[in-house]
Amino acid sequence: MDLGEKLYELRKNKNLTQEEVAEKLNVTRQSVSKWETNQSTPDFDKILPLCELYEISPNDLIKGNEQELEEEKSENDINSNEAKEHLFFKEKDDYGNMSKNQIKQKSAQIISSSILIFIIAIAFASIGTSVMMWNPVIVGCTFLVIVGFGVARIVKHYMSVPKFDKTKKEIKQDKILKQIDDIVGIIGVAIYFLVSFITMAWHITWIIFIIIGMINQIVRLIFMLKESESDEE
């Protein structure tokens, strides 16, 4: 209840009209009406006469209103905290309560979406420099930001994943993936130097390293999907 509503209730409890209150306080009826509708507040010299008229203490009149404001503020803070929790934490992945298969599925989602981000970055860099003829510095910075976002998603995910005891099958799969990563890396570096020396476009050919990383993630994704299919069977 705000101050205006309180003054209205107090007047009604005393069976007084606005005109009678105005007469006792030596103010106009319009002033009393504005007090009760929160269009204005009583002057300081009218607080004591009001309290004497309504038989309450000034502390009760003011404190009651402040208490309502505090309760309203507290409720708003709670609602605000709930909104923040909904916006920022409701969708947060609880890796600790996820099963091994659920984490694998989440890993597949993160990798596949990050691969898409890398493809978008490469397409943007290619189109921006060769077709749209944009400023190479702006294109390069934007490209790095997009790639960085994709990499950050993968790193954050794998840092959040709890450690599980690996099966023999998973250990064998990790060895195969490492061998594939090494082979792709060696071939990628050879292609990088070959293309760079032929074209002399050293400022562009470093994108090959992004492509190498993307290929490695695609291979990892394929293994994850195959493993998920075998688990379902």
Rg (CA), the chain: 35
Q: What is the pLDDT of residue 225?
A: 72
Q: What is the pLDDT of residue 59?
A: 76
Q: What is the pLDDT of residue 95?
A: 64
Residues comprising the chain, all counted: 233
- Greater confidence (64 vs 4) lies with 4
State yes or no: pLDDT of 86 exceeds 50.
no
pTM for the model stands at 0.45
Q: What is the pLDDT of residue 88?
A: 39
> What is the spatial distance between Cα 106 and Cα 221, in angstroms, rounded to a whole number?
11
User: Quick one: pLDDT band at residue 17, thresholds 50, 70, 90?
Assistant: very high
One-letter identity of residue 218: I
Long-range contacts of 70-73 (CB under 8 A, 24+ apart): none
Per-residue tokens: 36: 């009760």
Q: What is the pLDDT of residue 114?
A: 84
State yes or no: pLDDT of 91 exceeds 50.
no
CATH of 3-89, one of 2.40.50.100, 1.20.1250.20, 3.30.450.190, 1.10.260.40: 1.10.260.40
User: Quick one: pLDDT band at residue 221, thresholds 50, 70, 90?
Assistant: confident
Structural domain boundaries in the chain: 3-89, 97-232
- Greater confidence (60 vs 149) lies with 149
Q: What is the tens place of the pLDDT at every residue in 104-144?
A: 778 888 888 888 888 888 888 778 877 778 887 888 888 88
Give the torsion sign (CA, 37, 43, 47, 53): negative
